[in-house]
Amino acid sequence: MPTEGYRGLVLVRDIPFQSLCEHHLLPFRGCAHVGFLPGDSLVGLSTLARGVEHVAHGLQLQERITQQVHDWVRREVNPRGTGVVIEAEHLCMSFRGVGTADTHLISSVFSGELADDSAAQAAFFGREVRGHD
């Protein structure tokens, strides 16, 4: 689908996912924030959600999911910049060890024009962005 001249950030926040920790065989769940700066085309929003679901399936590591979703967006969309932030609660941490409930791991990958754009990156972390084109 052509961009029709749109050059701003496309960001889908709070895409839910669940997976299994390959180290502890316990579930972890959270949400992914996936965005990009369009090149010549856009993708449907549900396509990004399906990509997260596909990558998170099976035994995984959160950091690997983050990188794989990022790489998938770059291949599928060919954007000027890509960003992925994943926040998840790991039951291996909540139920085992120190038993710290409601603690979240945050992992992120930014590339292309988003690699050095702190205002755009702030949007991924849920911070208000003012004056960003």
Q: Which residues are catalytic?
A: 21-24, 62, 90, 92
Q: Is 78 helix (H, G, I), strand (E, B) or coil?
A: coil
Q: Whole-angstrom Cα distance, residue 78 to residue 125?
A: 23
Q: Is 52 helix (H, G, I), strand (E, B) or coil?
A: helix
Q: Sign of torsion, CA 80 121 7 68?
A: positive
Contacting residues for 21 by C-beta, under 8 A, at least 6 apart: 27, 28, 59, 60, 61, 90, 91, 92
